[in-house]
């Protein structure tokens, strides 16, 4: 990019020098030579690009319009205007490219998360190796001021991490032993020793940067429309220009006047303002969102945020913190210590937050587990210490015809031993602070709905606290999927889930948003938007950015079309000049670009 930038700047300067020199040779044949040199220097890349497009059977674009217009100007001996049109066109393109480059550079710098090397520790010795050579389970150290090179778990030390590049959160995060940390964060305080859980290519940072590089693949309806429009628009403009040049000339015999008007028409009609500013506007919107810790996969999703009817939410990890604690254990015909030992042993291999809470609560030695099976949406079955255990929700007990004593509310884990009901564990989960802002989002939707696999009464309790009137509990993943499809029959749907258990639902929804599983593969790959701060308050910010982006792009479209239409109408009556046409093309393009760049600057 830097080389491209320098070459074009030098080319513009040389062309301007020859053009200015030509002005000193009025009524001298040498003037035409200088103007031709100036024209060739500034225009040859446009000719090359037009030829490449023709080879790819893309015959009509803005390059061809400028070539026809300037050749026409030479034919009617408007040499200076021909050179100036091409020169101003290239200056406008250069300034536009510079603006685009700077906007992309600001986003790239924001997400400049990669580290080239990692300091491994082997006993008392350390060695620095390329980060690409590091492996999972390597032990490495991160000194104060260094960027974390790999995802990992802290083994030794306590420090504060600057997570802003990943989450947009300005307040440093305290981490200590057993805490997970992510590549790209900056160590602000003390040395820590970390065990890697990723390689260089599988870090959260690597996946985010890959995602950012693909943001232009999914085009919004506005972009798609104007891409198709430009393919039809350009040949129509060329045809209209030919009619303006030929028919009146045949009637009046005044070819100079009508070719000049046709050239004004061609230059004015160039669609650069729309072709450049629309995708740049969406890119700026995505960049502005990334600064707030909102990762949007493409302009399509950013655009779709303006047209959503229903918000459907998972409960655990979305509305609640997903940090569970055991609040009560009730057993029948077995001691609580033995009961907890069996259940904790069975949950040893599970990463589910509820399983983690049970394991943390247990202080007994774990027993050997065999015949372990996970039952989607129900729980697990396994054999522990020669006892057959079923651990899960009430549906699991009902499926095996095991009658239970059912608590009135909260999240309950039921346990049967050898097909006999042995007791239950009640799990508590705390509501997120950001969830209390949910009532403020009601103005954006026809309805807000909670869909959860938790006990109906537990869901009811959360819904009542958040003033949400529509909720459904005791749902399997396929039940959630059905509800999403039902709501899609009435309008467009956002579903927010944890990105793992709700993968199918996230994919089915018009917009799937993940939160509560920062950096997980499922969150990044199955959803359209990732709230990196694990904070529902960011959803309101996402809507604001989407609406502001749409407004600025609409302004640019209306402004560009209005100026072009006015200049085109004036051109038909011979009022517009080639200089007005240049403003309607280059000037409008640059102003439209500046307008959408405000998206990145908006506070």
Beta bridge partners of 421: 416
3-class secondary-structure state, position 123: coil
Tokens read off for 158: 């306590």
User: Which DSSP string corresponds to 294-315?
Assistant: EEE--HHHHHHTTS--EEEE-S
Residue 491 has what DSSP assignment? Answer: S
424 and 405 Cβ atoms separated by less than 8 Å: yes
Using CA atoms, how far apart are residues 428 and 405, in angstroms rounded to an integer?
Answer: 19
Burial of residue 477 (CB within 10 Å: 0-12, 13-18, 19+) is: middle
Using CA atoms, how far apart are residues 405 and 424, in angstroms rounded to an integer?
Answer: 9
Closest CA to 346 of 390, 376, 402, 404: 390
Closest CA to 49 of 35, 66, 36: 66
384 and 347 Cβ atoms separated by less than 8 Å: no
Tokens read off for 254: 């005044």
Point out the residues that are catalytic. 314
User: Which residues lie below 8 Å from residue 60, measured CB to CB, with a gap of 6+?
Assistant: 231, 234, 235, 238
Residue 140 has what DSSP assignment? Answer: E
115 and 200 Cβ atoms separated by less than 8 Å: no
- Beta strand ranges found along 438-526 (DSSP E): 447-451, 470-472, 493-497, 511-514
185 and 154 Cβ atoms separated by less than 8 Å: no
**3-state secondary structure string across 177-221:** CCCEECCCCEECCCCEEEEECCCCCCCHHHHHHHHHHCCCCCCCH
């Amino acid at each position: 990019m830097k080389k491209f930038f320098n070459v074009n700047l030098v080319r513009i300067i040389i062309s301007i020098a020859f053009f200015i020199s030509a002005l000193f040779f009025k009524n001298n044949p040498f003037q035409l030579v200088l103007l031709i040199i100036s024209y060739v220097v500034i225009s040859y890349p446009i000719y090359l690009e037009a030829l490449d497009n023709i080879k790819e059977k893309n015959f009509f674009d803005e390059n061809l319009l400028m070539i026809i217009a300037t050749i026409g100007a030479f034919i009617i001996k408007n040499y200076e205007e021909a050179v100036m049109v091409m020169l101003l066109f290239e200056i406008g393109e250069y300034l536009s490219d510079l603006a685009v480059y700077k906007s992309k550079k600001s986003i790239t710098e924001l997400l400049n998360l990669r580290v080239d090397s990692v300091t491994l520790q082997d006993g008392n010795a350390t060695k620095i190796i390329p980060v690409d050579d590091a492996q999972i389970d390597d032990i490495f150290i991160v000194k104060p001021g260094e960027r974390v090179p790999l995802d990992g778990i802290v083994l030794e030390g306590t420090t504060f991490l600057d997570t802003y590049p990943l989450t947009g959160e300005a307040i440093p995060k305290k981490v200590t032993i057993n805490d997970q940390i992510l590549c790209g964060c900056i160590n602000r305080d003390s040395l820590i020793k970390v065990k890697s859980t990723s390689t260089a290519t599988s870090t959260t940072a690597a996946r985010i940067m890959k995602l950012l590089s693909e943001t232009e693949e999914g085009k919004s309806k506005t972009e798609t429309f104007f891409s198709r429009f430009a393919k039809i628009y350009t040949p129509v403009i060329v045809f209209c220009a030919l009619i303006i040049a030929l028919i009146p000339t045949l009637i009046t015999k005044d070819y100079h006047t009508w070719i000049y008007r046709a050239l004004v028409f061609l230059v004015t009609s160039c669609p650069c303002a729309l072709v450049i500013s629309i995708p740049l506007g969406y890119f700026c919107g995505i960049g502005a969102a990334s600064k707030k810790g909102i990762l949007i996969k493409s302009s399509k999703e950013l655009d779709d945020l303006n047209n959503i009817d229903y918000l459907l939410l998972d409960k655990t990890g979305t509305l609640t913190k997903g940090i569970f604690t055991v609040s009560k254990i009730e057993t029948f015909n077995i001691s609580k210590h033995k009961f907890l030992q069996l259940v904790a042993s069975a949950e040893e291999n599970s990463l589910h937050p509820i399983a983690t809470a049970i394991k943390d609560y247990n202080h007994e030695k774990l027993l050997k587990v065999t015949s372990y099976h996970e039952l989607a949406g129900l729980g697990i079955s396994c054999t522990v210490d020669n006892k057959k255990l079923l651990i899960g929700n009430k549906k699991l007990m009902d499926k095996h015809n095991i009658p239970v004593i059912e608590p009135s509310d909260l999240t309950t884990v039921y346990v049967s031993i050898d097909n006999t009901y042995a007791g239950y564990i009640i799990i508590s989960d705390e509501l997120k602070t950001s969830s209390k802002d949910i009532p403020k989002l009601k103005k954006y939707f026809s309805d807000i709905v909670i869909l959860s696999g938790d006990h109906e009464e537990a869901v009811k309790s959360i819904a009542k606290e958040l003033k949400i009137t529509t909720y459904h509990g005791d749902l399997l993943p396929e039940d959630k999927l059905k509800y999403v499809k039902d709501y899609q029959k009435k309008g467009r749907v956002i579903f927010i889930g944890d990105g793992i258990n709700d993968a199918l639902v996230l994919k089915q929804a018009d917009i799937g948003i993940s939160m509560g599983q920062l950096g997980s593969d499922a969150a990044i790959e199955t959803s359209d938007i990732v709230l990196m701060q694990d904070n529902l308050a960011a959803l309101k910010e996402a809507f604001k950015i989407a609406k502001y982006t749409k407004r600025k792009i609409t302004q640019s479209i209306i402004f560009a079309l209005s100026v072009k239409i006015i200049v085109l109408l004036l051109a038909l009556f011979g009022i517009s000049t080639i200089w007005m046409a240049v403003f309607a093309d280059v000037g409008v393009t640059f102003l439209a670009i500046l307008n959408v760049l405000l998206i990145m600057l908006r506070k």
